[in-house]
Structure 1
Amino acid sequence: MGGHLNAYTSREQTVYYAKSLASDVSTSVEILSDILQGSTLDPAAIERERGVINREAEEVDKNKEEVVFDHLHGIAFQRSSLGYTILGPKANIDTITRQDLLDYISKNYTPERMATAAGGVDHDQLVKQAEKLFGGLKPGAPRTEIIKKPTFVGSDLRARFDSHPTAHLAFAVEGASWTSPNYWPLLVAQAVIGSWDRALGAASHSSSKFAQQVSKYNLANSFMSFNTSYSDTGLFGTYIVSENFKQLDDLSHALQQEWHRVCLSVTEAEVFRAKNQLKTSLLLSLDGTTPICEDIGRQMLVYGKRLTPWEVDGLIESVTAEQVRAAAQEAIYDKELAVVGYGPVDALQDYNRLRAAMSPIYA
């Protein structure tokens, strides 16, 4: 067929997907159905996959951004499965059994937890085929365990390696879930703070005041604001890479001052520009059938329907500067803070001082 078949796992979803010519969609759906319902889980294949996953784990360890975000989830959501890494510890990879996989599939691969999505296909025909191939799936047994919302824990973790060429930092507060009324205002707040890379230059012309500060005083090589949402919680913060080790205290102070500024005095002009940037980035992220398919699947699981680009545009456009300030205050003002430092981070302020800087009195 010349198609493409793959799968990946995030912290809340597992995705199996196929890309093919429109004429081969029917065959692709049959293959996905067989994978989900008829996999033999051959013991030899399981043994072979252990080595593959262990090599993937080694590659993840080389990506410092991934390492920092794994640590950030680990300290922010302690004693919760959301704090676990996606690949898991090596001991689990080495000992997981075929029966463990069968139990997981029977518990989680149930129709009420699945969503299918596709690009250039006949919708009615796809629905009929899905009913035929997946109609025999039995609903999952009622869940007896109580799924509690993960508790956000203010804490810090510092992996100090003085020989490392750059310091990697992440500062985060508890963000908003997918369905929270603060989800869209915090996305706009993220766009106000923005992202920047020294290699791109033009900081003096950047709409981000934090980027202007970072560039003017050479505080960092790059930074990226993030607003990561899950079904019942989230993380709002900033990831920073810097080779200016001696000014990490100035860097953290500048970031927290910018957070407070967004809480208190973000302007209508900044919000207008941030909304346009956000709409542009969201639309550009849907460039291709794979991201559109992922977007549809995620929204079906979260909202029970697909939000069209026009609906998303309207939701973003309706956000006001007052709503951004209110959402930022609720997330940031005197709230718990999670901090991760990796590399030469000796000059990073003591955690108690960083936490104290979250107070309105400090601001």
Structure 2
Amino acid sequence: MSSKALATPLIRHVTIRGYAQAAPAVKKDVRIQSSVLPNKTVLAALDNGSPVTRVTVAFKAGSRYEPQNELGLSHVLRSAAGLSSKGASSFMISRKLAQMGASFSASGDREFIYYTLEATQDNLHQALEYFNHIVSNQEFRPWELSDNIPRLKYDLAALPPQVRAVDLLHKAAYRRGLGNSIYIAPKRMGKVSSESVQHFAACNLTPARCAVAVVGDNQEKAALVAQALQLPSGGQGQSEGSTYFGGELRKEMGGDLAHVALAVQGAPAGSPQSLALAVAAKALGNGPVTKWGADNSLLGKAIGNIGPFAAAGFNVSYSDNGLFGVVLSVPKDEASAAVKAVAKALKSPNLSGDAIKAGKNQLKVQVLCEADQGATLTESLAAQGLYTGSVKSPLDLAKEIDQLSSSDISQAMSNATKNRISMGAVGNLAFVPYVDEL
């Protein structure tokens, strides 16, 4: 029996300030425009005729760039988005954006931090003025950072256990760099100084590490947004490569369930292997496809009818590495058999042609649905620009998925499963086997 307990983003963290109702988008058959400015800022624009324009400014300022003696900086940085800046107070920023019906959010992962604005065409110019204050004129006043600590505590308290397991998985697999958590440790709260956050921002929020994506307007608007940003040009963030080591981290938290993330080394973003592994992750299983239905995926059949469980394959790719694996939630008494079955399915996958076809269709649905989600699409375009220097539309990605053959997917999985397995586990781990027992 399976459940939908994994319907939560596992790799990202979002901070939202303000709400607005978006007008329905008007779809047009248009192509994405992209370019690179002389200062190395990547631009991408998709003018789809939407009455609501979305603007995302992304930076290479994720947790992998944090110094080892200052872990948690990226979490503090994105949580501080929207606080007082050089030209406007936090009250003025939130008040003015609310009056214009605009909304703003800051999100981040291990590679990037994203600042996203959503506003109607009529109010876009004025909204961009305050958006510029948020992105490029931050001051990180000590008393405001201190007042923001409850927000950080809430972020940690609201973490689903599956997210904690994936976070431990990264630490076990990479140790440093990509192994850095995207969340601040409880013992670090209140100990991150304003000067540290300012220095981190000055080193990483620079034009050469920036991408600007616009959906609902043209490339000229993206260029104007980039040119209006007042960013330092001399900073250089730390960017040493992350080596995959493989390992295991466990956190006993009690309860009736065990939450386990298993993975092997994947492929970097932009590579054909990465797309093939994304299809393979869907083919392994993503829970039941109908409400209250049975899980007939490879993972569901491997685990069997041992009680309520949730299992989903995942693939995450970064600039120089990646992870391909499975997240599992299972009753503590059934954990031993379930984890061993999942590990066997991961290390010796036997995907049928029908499973691969279904995986391709599911991945295409996910990619194409991004076009309907506004802010998700702009963040995806910005991330592509920073990863590869070029941008592809969801339709182009769907065509590339169609072109993948079964042999391409099988070969990518075969290469990935040769690597050492890593594990992150939280919950009641009394019967969860250790990684060397799998």
Q: Same fold (TM over 0.5)?
A: yes
How many angstroms does 1:222 deviate by?
Answer: 0.9
* Correspondence for 1:150: 242
* Correspondence for 1:160: 252
Q: Is the 8 A contact 2:368 2:398 kept in 1?
A: no
Where in structure 2 are the equivalents of 1:255-294 lying within 5 Å? 255-262=342-349, 265-294=350-379
Write the deviation string for residues 228-258 of structure 1: whole angstroms up to 9, x where unpaired: 1111111111111111x33333223322332
* Correspondence for 1:357: none
Q: 1:142 to 1:242 in 2, by over 3 A?
A: closer
The reply to whether residue 183 of structure 1 matches residue 274 of structure 2 is yes
How many angstroms does 1:339 deviate by?
Answer: 1.5
Which amino acid is the alignment partner of residue 154 of structure 1?
Answer: G
Which amino acid is the alignment partner of residue 325 of structure 1?
Answer: S
The reply to whether residue 212 of structure 1 matches residue 212 of structure 2 is no
Q: 1:347 to 1:197 in 2, by over 3 A?
A: farther
Q: Is the 8 A contact 2:167 2:424 kept in 1?
A: no
Where in structure 2 are the equivalents of 1:11-160 lying within 5 Å? 11-60=110-159, 63-78=160-175, 80-131=176-227, 133-134=228-229, 137-141=231-235, 147-160=239-252
* Correspondence for 2:262: 171
Return the TM-score normalized by structure 2. Answer: 0.71
SS of residue in 1 equivalent to 2:181: coil
User: Which deviates more, 312-321 or 48-57?
Assistant: 48-57
Q: 1:36 to 1:220 in 2, by over 3 A?
A: same
SS of residue in 1 equivalent to 2:168: helix
Q: Is the 8 A contact 1:178 1:231 kept in 2?
A: yes
* Correspondence for 2:403: 318
How many angstroms does 1:142 deviate by?
Answer: 5.7
How many angstroms does 1:210 deviate by?
Answer: 2.2
Q: Is the 8 A contact 2:298 2:351 kept in 1?
A: no
Q: Is the 8 A contact 2:161 2:427 kept in 1?
A: no
Q: 1:250 to 1:330 in 2, by over 3 A?
A: same
What is the CA–CA distance in structure 1 between the aligned matches of 2:106 and 2:214, rounded to whole Å? Answer: 15
Where in structure 2 are the equivalents of 1:189-200 lying within 5 Å? 189-196=280-287, 200=291
Return the TM-score normalized by structure 1. Answer: 0.85
Q: 1:52 to 1:142 in 2, by over 3 A?
A: closer
SS of residue in 2 equivalent to 1:116: strand
Q: 1:5 to 1:224 in 2, by over 3 A?
A: same
Aligned equivalent of 1:295, options 380, 390, 400: 380
Sequence identity percentage? 22
- Is there any run of 5+ residues in structure 1 with no aligned partner, and where? 355-363
Q: Is the 8 A contact 2:103 2:118 kept in 1?
A: yes
* Correspondence for 1:360: none
The reply to whether residue 340 of structure 1 matches residue 429 of structure 2 is no
Write the deviation string for residues 74-126 of structure 1: whole angstroms up to 9, x where unpaired: 21111x13222223223433122222222122211111111112222243244
Which amino acid is the alignment partner of residue 119 of structure 2?
Answer: S
Aligned equivalent of 2:393, options 308, 315, 336: 308
How many angstroms does 1:164 deviate by?
Answer: 0.6
SS of residue in 2 equivalent to 1:148: coil
Which amino acid is the alignment partner of residue 230 of structure 1?
Answer: Y
Q: 1:48 to 1:109 in 2, by over 3 A?
A: same
What is the CA–CA distance in structure 1 between the aligned matches of 2:417 and 2:224, rounded to whole Å? Answer: 48
How many angstroms does 1:331 deviate by?
Answer: 0.8
Q: 1:40 to 1:344 in 2, by over 3 A?
A: closer
How many angstroms does 1:150 deviate by?
Answer: 1.6
Q: Is the 8 A contact 1:188 1:324 kept in 2?
A: yes
How many angstroms does 1:353 deviate by?
Answer: 2.3
- Is there any run of 5+ residues in structure 2 with no aligned partner, and where? 1-99
Please report the RMSD computed on the Cα atoms of aligned residues, expressed in angstroms: 2.4
Q: 1:351 to 1:76 in 2, by over 3 A?
A: same
What is the CA–CA distance in structure 1 between the aligned matches of 2:292 and 2:221, rounded to whole Å? Answer: 50
Q: 1:52 to 1:115 in 2, by over 3 A?
A: same
Q: 1:337 to 1:39 in 2, by over 3 A?
A: same
SS of residue in 2 equivalent to 1:6: strand
